[in-house]
Amino acid sequence: MNNLNFINPFSVREDPGSSVGDLYTQNFSRHAKTGTVILNLGPQHPSTHGVLRVIVELEGEYVIRAEPVLGYLHRMHEKMAEVKTPWQFIPNMGRVDYLHPVAWNWAQVGACERLAGLEVPERAEYLRVISCELNRIASHLMWWGAFVMDLGGVTPILYAFEEREKINDILQIITGSRLTISYFRFGGVSADIDERFVRLTREFIPYLRERLKMYKALVTDNVILRRRLEDIGPMGVDICQRYGATGPVLRAAGLPRDVRRDIPYGVYPKLDFAIPAGPSDDCFGRYLVRLFEVETSLNIVEQALNELPDGPVKMDKAPKANWKLPAGETYFAVEGARGQIGVHLVSDGGKTPYRLKLRAPSFCNLSLFAEAAKGVLLADAIAILGSLDLVIPEVDR
Amino acid sequence: MFRAIVDNIKGLWSLIVGLSITGRFFFSPVKTVHYPRQVVDPESLASYRGPLELVPADDVGGSKCVSCQMCVRACPGNCLTVIKGKEGKAPETYLYDFTLCCLCAACVESCPTSAIRFSHNVYLTARTREELHMDLLADLKARAAKASQ
């Protein structure tokens, strides 16, 4: 009886905090009302995106209380940063967020470069932008497919994967890998692009623009999707700012905050791109913002390819694997697909950093969920969870 | 009332549009590569990072490695073991544990003589863990023998 996920409402209420369920469930059920059902979603559940567990208290079909349980994918990335040299830690960043690894690459490499005062050649900066934006598109496409699958439409994820595979093919030319990419190096990038990369990217941009029209006709205009998303899970600027939500979640609430614009890094100040905000703070607004960001990223890639200067892709005397950081403290933030990725780096001048703090956007976005899911239908809670675009390794780190 | 009727008709139309799109895809050619009947074209594997291999220095399986241990020290996963031979600088043993490797290229980029590189072997399979503990010098000799045949 101890391992029952589903608790009989008639047996548990006389004994609140009974031995049914594990520690989290017991603690959660201590505050449960009479006549409610406590249900565990996850940690293995088709609609929870990785090993996230959410305990919900249900009255009928309505969620009264929800509590995410984290830590199933905790891999001590921050501790590993303290026992590895900065170079050796680069591959870890691809494992933190497997959907947008290039942005995490940039956050860590950028923090080390800022601390050491390294100059990156301009061509490398443009290549960083191109790879980061291509990867952002891949991440948003994956989210798009997975989100629609959460809502019950299984077909679109297969179409999204077709585009995603094309991006993977393009990124594989320069990075050598398709998922856990480690492309950035201190003072540049690991490889230069070739003629095939340029050709495939130039073919891909108009191709995806055409496909986005198909996405709109197939999914965005679909009446079932709209009725599932419109006016569901409104998250205003107030709740976003209280929990520190960033990225598309905050921008859908109407606040055009974007690290690429607000705390510029790389060559983003030289590029012209729009930061979408709004139109609504519900699930459908967050959906639209992400699809618009795909178009924005396509524009950025196109511009960067047109303006790509010649030159080296790595600085002279770039740091090697045994490179030591100078003593000091710094913070570097980049805009990932899910929001602001921050790296706070403290070094005492030793072989390994003294401390590396990773600020993951998914963690803050997830903490909204408990408040936003109060009083909604269980199916709508799943829609809210999906609209946050969570990557669980990033939440747990 | 009138508006609700129009909304419902529009909604039904959106379903028909969606079905026509999925119907079109249903009859379009297959997009996936049906391994093993088909394989990915080699051009797209040119930069793929497969398990490490030693770069041949000559035709008889000699390597460019000088046993300087730079790769061993650079590796984040401690997957390399290089032991220097008794005569000269050439290594006596070059072991590579693919189960620990994260294909980060730290060893490749830190090698002063460019003695190691990534292979492009996407079709590697193993039934046991031990098959992935590779002896790169033996592998290099085997490749040289195969090439000379």
Distance of CA A186 to the CA centre of its chain: 23
Which residue is closest to A200 within chain B, CA to CA? Answer: B44
* Residue with more model confidence, A79 or B64: A79
Inter-residue long-range contacts of A385-388, CB under 8 Å, 24+ positions, other chains counted? A385/A47, A385/A48, A385/A49, A385/A54, A385/A150, A386/A47, A386/A49, A386/A146, A386/A147, A386/A150, A386/A151, A386/A283, A387/A147, A387/A229, A387/A233, A387/A249, A387/A283, A387/A286, A387/A287, A388/A249, A388/A286, A388/A362
Q: How much is the pLDDT for B10? A: 85
- Subunit contact B22:A218, Cβ cutoff 8 A: yes
Is A10's pLDDT higher than 50? no
Q: pLDDT tens for residues A160-210?
A: 888 898 999 898 888 888 888 888 888 888 888 888 889 999 999 999 999
The DSSP code for A388 is: T
- Subunit contact A176:B18, Cβ cutoff 8 A: no
Residues of chain B with pLDDT under 50: none
Select the residue of B11, B76, B110 nearest A84 (Cβ to Cβ).
Answer: B76
Which segment of A12-26, A48-62, A205-219, B54-68 scores lowest on mean pLDDT? A12-26
Is A352's pLDDT higher than 70? yes
Q: How far apart are CA A327 and CA A348, in angstroms?
A: 4
Whether B58 contacts chain A with CB within 8 A:
no
Q: How much is the pLDDT for A46? A: 59
Q: How far apart are CA A362 and CA A68, in angstroms?
A: 13
Domains within chain B, CATH numbers bracketed = 49-148 (3.30.70.3270)
Whether B48 contacts chain A with CB within 8 A:
yes
Whether A152 contacts chain B with CB within 8 A:
no
Q: How much is the pLDDT for A3? A: 47
Q: How much is the pLDDT for A65? A: 87
> In A, which residues are within 8 Å of B106 by CB distance?
87-88, 90-91, 321
* Residue with more model confidence, A140 or A23: A140
A–B CB contacts, 8 A cutoff, strictly below: 75
Whether B105 contacts chain A with CB within 8 A:
yes
Which residue is closest to A86 within chain B, CA to CA? Answer: B76
Whether B118 contacts chain A with CB within 8 A:
yes
Among B20, B28, B104, the strongest candidate for a mutation testing the A interface, having the largest count of A CBs within 10 A, is B104
Which residue is closest to A156 within chain B, CA to CA? Answer: B22
Select the residue of B11, B21, B70 nearest A214 (Cβ to Cβ).
Answer: B21
- Subunit contact B22:A155, Cβ cutoff 8 A: yes
**Bridge-based pairing state of the strands A62-69 and A53-59:** antiparallel
- Subunit contact A90:B104, Cβ cutoff 8 A: yes
- Subunit contact B11:A191, Cβ cutoff 8 A: no
* Amino acid, single-letter form, for residue A147: F
> In B, which residues are within 8 Å of A131 by CB distance?
none
Q: What is the DSSP string of A324-363?
A: -PPSEEEEEEEE-SSSEEEEEEEE-SSSS-SEEEEE-HHH
> In A, which residues are within 8 Å of B14 by CB distance?
221-223
Select the residue of A87, A173, A217 nearest B17 (Cβ to Cβ).
Answer: A217
Domains within chain A, CATH numbers bracketed = 9-69 (no CATH), 77-359 (1.10.645.10)
Q: How much is the pLDDT for A48? A: 60
Please report, for residues A128, A209, B137, the alpha-carbon distance to residue A97 in angstroms, rounded to integers and kept in the order given: 17, 26, 36
Q: How far apart are CA B97 and CA B119, in angstroms?
A: 15
Select the residue of A223, A224, A321 nearest B106 (Cβ to Cβ).
Answer: A321
> In chain A, pLDDT over 70 holds for what percent of residues?
93
| Average pLDDT of the segment spanning A51-68 | 86
Q: How much is the pLDDT for A206? A: 92
- Subunit contact B31:A222, Cβ cutoff 8 A: no
Q: pLDDT tens for residues A114-167?
A: 888 888 888 899 999 999 999 999 999 999 988 898 888 888 888 888 889 899
**ipTM here:** 0.83
- Subunit contact B74:A88, Cβ cutoff 8 A: yes
Q: Across all residues in chain A, what is the average pLDDT?
A: 85
Inter-residue long-range contacts of A370-376, CB under 8 Å, 24+ positions, other chains counted? A370/A65, A370/A66, A370/A67, A370/A68, A371/A239, A371/A243, A372/A233, A372/A235, A372/A239, A373/A56, A373/A63, A373/A66, A373/A233, A374/A63, A374/A64, A374/A65, A374/A66, A375/A62, A375/A63, A375/A64, A376/A62, A376/A63, A376/A232, A376/A233
| Phi, then psi, of A57 in degrees rounded to 5 | -105, 120
